[in-house]
Structure 1
Amino acid sequence: MVKRVEQQIAFAHAQITYKKEGGAVLFTVSSCFLKKPFFASLLLLRKSKNLHWSTFITAGTPSFAVRKMKLLRLTLLVFAWGLCQAQNFPPSFSNVVASVNIEELQQEYTDFVIYDVNATDPEGDNFTFVIPENSINSNLFRVEGYSGRVFTQPGVVLDREVLSRDDDPLHLLIEAQDGMHDEYPQFRLIIVLQDVNDNPPIIAPPYTSLSVLEDTELGFVLVEVEASDADSGNNGFFYFYLDETSSLFQLERETGKLRLIRELDYDNPLTRRHTLTVIVEDLGEEPLMGQSTLEIVVEDVDDLNPVFEPSSYTKSISENSTFGAFVERVSARDGDIGVDAAIFYTLEDAGNSLIDGNLSFVINSTTGEIFVDVASLDRETHSSYSLTVQAAQVNNTSKFASATVSIIVLDINDNIPVFDPHTNADFDLHLEDILNSTSPLPFNVSASGDIILSSPLNFEITEYYLFNVIATEAEGGNASAQVRVNVTNENDLIPVFQQLNYTGNITEGVSSGAFIEQVKAVDEDKGIYGEITYSISGGHFDDFYINTYNGAVFTDRKLDYENRSSYTILIDAVDSGNRTAQHLATLTVEVLNINDNHPLFDRESLTVQLEEETEEGSTVVALNVTDRDGDNLTERTFSIEAGNEFGNFTFDPELENVVVTLSRLDYDERPGLQEPIMLTIVVNDTLFTDEMILTIQLVDINDNSPVFQNESYQFEVFEEEPANTEVGIVTAIDIDSEEFGEVVYSIYPNDKSVLPGPSDGFPHISKTVQATIEVLDINDKRPSFVRDEYEVSVPENIDIVSDSVSARDMDAGTNAEITYELIHGNTNNAFVIDRKEGVLSRNPNVTLDREDEDFYVLTVRATDGGMPSMNGTATIKVTIMDENDEEPIFSPTYVSTSITEDTPTDSSVLTITATDGDTPSNAMLRYTLSVTGPPEPEPGCPEPPSGSFSIDGESGYIETLGEFDREAVKRHMCWRS
């Protein structure tokens, strides 16, 4: 089990930490004598006898530089202590970051304290609080040098809606400087602006006009009122309501949706236009409100039948009227005044107008004019006619109306007189004009004395006639009587407009009662029947009125070109007999536009992003401006009134509403461009202006490659270090913003170079540096034999036995140096092995005799030179090869047997057995019979006779060859092989 020890020792501003694991000790020294924290790592490898320490040393911030072998005494601790005591240290803050919440300020507070910053100096030196140059938000705040109190800058208003629109806090960096250092620690103050209810909700636009069909379904959403409030929280939430309760409309409190809740009526002039005041109020403790005007114009729909004016007609016509004679003009109009659909007329019998099944009259379906449709009329046959005229809409024949036309046929003197059979004295009657008019009298006198109308009368030509009736007898006597005939006026003529189309112009905004145009109609009737009354029969009743006596048309309210630029009015002329003009007059009123509306930006403020390095003349944004007066009435100009001190932006000379760049902007080099650029944009139409705030946030692009601090790096590391062991540190700096300047490192796979990995920007820019890492060997690999088992065969009794084994070690240097030794199976030390080369030899002092030991199993061990060493083993199997160095041996060496003399030929006698100590190849025996007796024959044992016996050469089997005679040979025979 590895014992681990950790201890921390503090020396003033130096801190040393060491820990021990197994045979290694790791020191970490945190020193204070550099501008940045210094870290030294001392890796103890082993302790030598002379009490020095063999180490690797590295230094950095923090980093591992090149590791080199050195001798370093433990007095390094004292050295670090002395350096720290001799240096001066910068002031330090009690904490490095703090947050403060303040309400946004709506007026200048020069002495308003935001926060008190605290710092101390280790040596007690004097120091000053400073906001670094070009620090973000340095234009808003200042710090009191000796106290650390943070104030707002003079004249600065902390408006959350301008400075912290997205509720992002403001950050302020502060340093405590004692004048003795190049760099100082920084304190970050986070200022959160809390909202106050200082912005009323705004409805855009402030005036809205919309047209709604009168048959719109109930519940339909006519418009959704939109509002905005720059405040936040409850101060920025709002609800809607109408200034006055409406019986027709309902405004949803939360959504601003205006719904129709009762039916609309265009036909009532008083309900054709509705003006609503919409109120929006926020939820602040002291609520603020805004309002807008919503004008709803009801548009007519085709829902009414045509209307005759008048509904009945009476006309007198002479009976001598012939085919095609004009009788009367009837007129009907669409009951929907705002639609004014075309009308067509048809004529029908009302009960007594048919002659032989046919009508005597015909009507023009378009104009409504009625004409005689027979050769002539006859009062004596038909003294009057009753017709029904039907008027229907061309676009919808289901909508129609009817009117009655009564036609009276006037008599003419077209029948001869018939005398009364009872006669008086004969006399002659005739008439004599007293007034001596140029026209003949339209009267005749009958023999009976009846004065009869002989031709139609015309009141407009002659209002009365004065004549004498003279009776003359045949004898010459006469008498006379004066007669005055007064012609009674009839309304037989209709008003006629002098022209059917009139045009008038009126400037918008003029007061009610302004004269526009005068229409004129004439009626040839005299007296009251010639008196004409004018009226507006179609168009816009509530916008205009007409002098009923002289036809002069005036405005009834102020007209607004932006709501409507043209009106068409239908004017009718009616005489006192209620006869209308054959054709209506049309008055077209053109409203003349004037510059009475402000140009308005579509928003009060706009934030856009612009990439740095954008080409000069590039479009930043196109601003949208609306002017209810239209785009062509006046010339609009755009200008940048504030925020363009460096002249970076202007307006496109051709596209006047387009902001373009004047120069290439570099986010990383130009001071101040990291902060939002707030431009005050003004639009002017020569009379009215509007302004908005355009905030341009210059967006950093990844246009700078990271730069390594060194051209190359070299590191050393012991093999077998665990994963994530720090080998060394390479450092690269990217001057792009934090988003793109954060460098990520990776190992480039092809050449193993160090590569900063992709940052958040696109495209990625990379730089490579060569980092050479030398891996230092440790003795972690065992020697390994080429083969786990070797087999060797050697002849016995040989003087030299030579064979070799081989092992390898994956370590390097001393750790890979191998020595060999035999550790097992070397019976009688028969073999020796070369320690360096692994060559196996016979021990010169030992003779190998296969018959004594024919097989050896040797264990050879290979040991490396590491400390501690490691080893591996292999097996050597040695086979001793046989040589024919052993003679056969009979066992036993003497055999005696007996046979009978009558033993037949080929009879078995016995089997002789011999052995040979050599291997089978050298121990193959061949048996033969020899006539030579033993070296020392037994006494009395003669030589064996030849041809008496035979032996099998392979088995040693002996058998008889012939007959035996005991009496001739009594004793046993002896032999050997």
Structure 2
Amino acid sequence: MLQQFHTRCASLDWRVSILLFCVVAAVNGQIRYTIPEEMRKGLFVGDVAKDLGLDLKRLVSGRARLVIDEDNQYVVLNQNKGHIVVNERIDREKLCAKKSPCSFSLEIVLEDPLELFSITIEIQDVNDHAPAFPKKEINLEISESTPTGTVFLLDSAADPDVGVNSLQSYSLKANDHFVLKQHTRGDGSKYAEMMLQSSLDREKQNEHTLILTAVDGGEPQRSGTVRIHVSVLDANDNAPVFTQSLYTVSVLENVSRGTVVARVSAVDLDQGYNGNVTYFFTHLEEHSSCPFEINSYTGEVKLTGDIDYEVSPSYEINLQAKDPWGVVGASKLIIELADVNDNSPVITMASYSGKISEDSAPGTVVALISVQDKDSGKNGQVHLNIDENLPFKIKSSLRNYYTLVTEQNLDREKRSKYNITLTATDEGLPALSSSKTVFLDVTDINDNAPAFSQSFYSALIAENNSPGVSVLSVHAKDPDENQNARVSYILQECEISGSPISEYVSVNAESGIVHAVRSYDYEQIKELIFVVKAQDGGSPPLSSNVTVKILIQDQNDNPPQVLYPVQTGGSLVAEMVPRSADVGYLVTKVVAVDVDSGQNAWLSYKLQKATDRALFEVGLQNGEIRTIRQVTDKDAVKQRLTVIVEDNGQPSRSATVIVNVAVADSFPEVLSEFTDFTQDKEYNDNLTFYLVLALAVVSFLFITCLVVIISVKIYRWRQSRILYHSNLPVIPYYPPRYSDTLGTGTLQHVYNYEVCRTTDSRKSDCKFGRAGSQNVLIMDPSSTGTMQRIQSEKSILDEPDSPLEYVVVTLYLIQLCSYLSVLKSQVIFILCLCVQYSVFHSLNIRTFI
């Protein structure tokens, strides 16, 4: 029958999911569902979204989840549909045993904002168990003297189902001596007694076999049977009688095994052997988990297992006293357990992310905490506390729920992590407590601007630096973290000498290194002052500025510049010294400046060369040129002095100036001397320039003509190779066309010649054809003048292009003359002549030869 029931339930699974009658109560945020046990995984339990009046989007955004005991994950929440469905098979008997109604509670937690809803799921019993007797056979020994109306207590059948599915009635197979009586205990369980309705006669029948049937009220109905074997004994007139019809004791749940919890006794008025009484528990199953046992001779009831008030607060045991002849008496023992504070509170984080932003206002919820204590009364009343030194506090919420909230403003830069120890303590004696440490990270916000390590940066750099060289590095720190602490360096726009600062320096956005964009010139700019901004990566970003000053150091990169005497290319300036000049006569003064600064601009003057070094001297510091002796008539009129001006840099730089001095008493004498000299010099310079220009032009024309000749020679050579080395039996050759344009030649029209030569016999056949209007003139193969004509054509092909070669030779001669005039070197002239002779010879330009 049990197998038929399961088969029938499986076929009706689809109907069960629809016909689940769900009783929904939406009072104070609580709902209740009722479902049968043994439902398959995935079947529908209830629509919490609809029953709670919640939108599906709210379930998803609030990260809805069920808070369930970790050991009983019977249902799960489908966020997308808002349904609670079965997660695993629910066995009502395993969950609640005989407890009815059977239910378990859970909570739905929503975040942002935090909401909590309680749900109770009641499990309805399914008739999946048949009543079963603890033994397969009951053996009774009844004295024949047993009076009618004597009651015999029978073993009760056990059915773990409840309600109508539990044991409902007993029935006894019809017989002549016994009838069945049924009774109900205080807890609703049923048991049967068999009453003797007519006297037994051992001499007529010494044994009786009866069938006892236990039936439940489920649909379909299930039943169990046991065989009762009655042995008729000789007379025993009195049955044992317990001293109390009901024994009640109270026991602490923490008593140790072996403790005697109760003692029962029964009296048999018979004497001797018939008065011996033994004690039994009658209603226990074969593999019962009853944690008690009774001594069959003394009636002591001892604890043999573990008892727990939270599992079963009381035990009801049926007692039986029996004499040696099988006459029995019955009683009942009720053992009530007293609760002991033996369970520590259990802390569960119902909602906890482990992170909180540092800008959270006081009162922000950090976590939702569930604290459970299985004890009852004061032993189950719990208080939750945390360390008082932390900026958090505990607030009591719903039943057994607490919220951890912030009490002060948080600052991640002062403290970024908190280890929060939660301590739950009950009110038992002695009190029990448990602790749980949670770790909370304070997340960063961009509340700190970058700070430079210095309030002002300065650096030195020498002028004429290489572009891109690093000058200095600025550095800023941001106490925030991650992107909020990522510092970028930005060059603030400004102008220096009318140009943007970006043309002078650049700043690496990541490292803060300042690079020189170009080479600096101290003579143009002495210093650079600009502002660098440090900006973090927060949103919105925060920033700070710092001023940077770069001083440019001077280098000796400029030679002295002579201001006087002025050096001109078109005219010659000379200083006059009369022949009557005395010693120390001031001829002139060399004036020079150096745009560098410092010692790089200190100038000294020296006389490098002079026509007569014994006549003049130059002042080392002032550049004055003076005579150092008396001028005589023997001194030359034209005096040429070379003065070198040096600075004091390392290394030093210098400039030279030529001073022309005329030793004469009259101006016409000076003019005649210096004019000849200037004109000769200019004439030679102009002549050399024009010769070089002529040589360049002639060389270019000469090379161009050579390239043309070489190209023609290569083309003809390729044609001849095709003629003599082709693998074809007949090779056509097409010479150029010749025409007598005036009509006075041997041919009146243009003719085409097709010369055919064989590769083996070297004989040729010429075909003479039609006039020039035809493309090819076909000649008679038998003509005897073929070879002579071909030879004449070959000689024509071998003749040089006379006009072009004459041009080349002419250019060659002009070029030789130019070399000779410009180079004025016989060796170079001879080398040029040999090289170009070789080129002409290789090109077969015989005109030159």
Same fold (TM over 0.5): no
Structure with higher helix content: 2
Q: Which has the larger radius of gyration?
A: 1
Structure with higher strand content: 1
Q: TM-score, normalised by structure 2?
A: 0.37
Q: TM-score, normalised by structure 1?
A: 0.32
